Structure 1
């Protein structure tokens, strides 16, 4: 019995695994969104959230879960859904109006906003060593993405940054809901339903016809998003942002692999350097946390 206890995963390790799986799913989501072609960003976001809603609904029915929030969790659910919807819409808008590298780096500000919001709202401590490690991962992301803000329009750039902020606030609320003990499937269900309701009026009046291939790509994007949502929800329920957010940058590595397989994109030497930095920071964070536990 003691041996089994020693071998069991800690909450931090579970959070790390969940966020890496989430990054893998979100990399596929971005690939399918790109494959879906030229469609309105709100229409893309609606189908993304609709599939995630059905997936979460199936999970709740399977678990015989309650469709009412736990006591005290409703304000955080509303904040999570509002910020998450804002993050998705702004991110999709930025992708449609900016170079993909610019939109990506702006969205990758979300872990930093999550750490800042966790420090402000949840009173989770952040020391200078952890801050430097996360900063190092951010430098690696810059090497991979190579943003060119000088060529970007001001308004779309601000919208993209707002999307990163929305995602960061949403992840902070997920962490708080995990502390309350809210059902993970219900968190995803509430967010997906909220997002669908918000975007439905646009779809009713401005729907653009799609081919079956575009529809299939959006359905697959929704399924990937559902996997990513469950992954990131579980991750931030298990552990605080400062300990696991660095692993979210593995999405860049997954995206590079998918880019090569699907779009014949080959990374340059600066991108490879970024991969090495990100992996190194993840290893440093792992050993730092392990030493802190001792």
Structure 2
């Protein structure tokens, strides 16, 4: 079978960049919806509800409805449970913090992924990745400034909780990806979220204005756009080759935060963010080196 479809690195980078732009636009719309009084649970419900028909259309164009079939409903249920908690924390971080700070703290996900790989996967972590973890947490402390006044500590903790969930979910998605198509993973998460969040709407829903409906529709469209494009990027490039584009989100967040909300990140964010981003890039580079070494060992063993 030809693997030429995966050999388009520039297209992969462009798709990832546009996908991250979609998530940045969604974050702006989430803050605007919250400012108008829309409840967080309602935002989450409509974010996923709007994505269901879009993902079904994606499945139809990608090869047919059989792509959403799964033999692992329990694994999808666990992924959905973690995903819902992750959405609450990540959306909460966006609501509670300025966009740039929420985005910078979300970059700590690779740091948590290293720790989870030790606890859950029993991996051995060497000095390179431990150094990245230490540098990354130093950057988090600079941004969050425990005891400082620039950003609320509770908001920082919520955003860090969201980053932890991203790391935990990434391990699950990696496992689900061994057996299920990306369309199925996105679809069943959306369906599960809609089912879980629907009863909550009876307690939090209030009549919405036309502006609020447009904001919720925009959240669903931009969020799904981001999800689809970053998934498609992995058809044409590896995670390690496109992950650098994820850090463009800080540029999007800073620019949009300035244009829409007239907020400019304090000096501490500019000092701490490079440490967190550098840690994430170092971890990604080291993972790539180790995966190549493991592949070489396997290939060498197969040739003996």
Q: Is the TM value for this pair above 0.5?
A: yes
Q: TM (normalized to structure 2)?
A: 0.71
CA deviation after TM superposition for structure 1 residue 29, in Å: 1.2
Match of 1:186 in 2: 184
Q: Return the offset for 1:69.
A: 3.7
**Superposed, which structure 2 residues align to 1:242-257 within 5 Å?**
248-257=246-255
Query: SS at the partner of 1:167?
Result: helix
**Cα distance in 2 between the residues matched to 1:139 and 1:245:** 22
Aligned equivalents of 2:141, 2:23: Cα separation in 1: 19
TM-score, length-scaled by structure 1: 0.73
Q: Which residue of 1 aligns with 2:44?
A: 45
Alignment gaps of 5+ in structure 1: none
Tell me the alpha carbon deviations over residues 237-277 of structure 1, each in whole angstroms, 9 at most, x when there is no partner. Answer: 97678x97676443223211111222233344443444555
Take 2:203 and 2:210, find their aligned partners in 1: how far apart are those partners?
21
CA contact (8 A) 1:141 1:252 kept: no
The answer on 1:198 being equivalent to 2:196 is yes
Tell me which residue corresponds to 1:223: 221
Bigger Rg, which one: 2
> 1:201 deviation in Å?
0.7
- For residue 66 of structure 1, give the secondary structure of its aligned residue in structure 2: helix
**Number of paired residues?**
282
Q: 1:109 to 1:213 in 2, by over 3 A?
A: same
Q: Once the two structures are superposed, what CA deviation does each residue of 1:125-150 show, in whole Å capped at 9, x if it has no partner?
A: 6433134345545545655x444467
SS of structure 1 residue aligned to 2:207: coil
Q: Which runs of 5+ in 2 are unaligned?
A: 294-304
Which residue in the other structure is 2:175 paired with?
176
Aligned equivalent of 2:73: 74
Deviation at 1:62, TM superposition (A): 2.2
Distance, in Å, in 1 between the alignment partners of 2:257 and 2:153 is: 26
Structure 2 CA distance for aligned equivalents of residues 252 and 16 of structure 1: 16
- Deviation of 1:67 (Å): 5.9
The equivalent of 1:208 in structure 2 is: 206
Q: 1:186 to 1:132 in 2, by over 3 A?
A: same
CA contact (8 A) 2:93 2:102 kept: yes
Where do 1:121-160 residues align within 5 Å? 121-122=120-121, 126-133=125-132, 135-137=134-136, 139-140=138-139, 143=142, 145-148=143-146
1:82 is displaced (CA, Å) by 1.0
Is the contact between residue 122 and residue 176 of structure 1 (CA under 8 Å) also seen in structure 2? no
Q: Tell whether the 8 Å contact from 1:184 to 1:230 is kept in structure 2 after alignment.
A: no
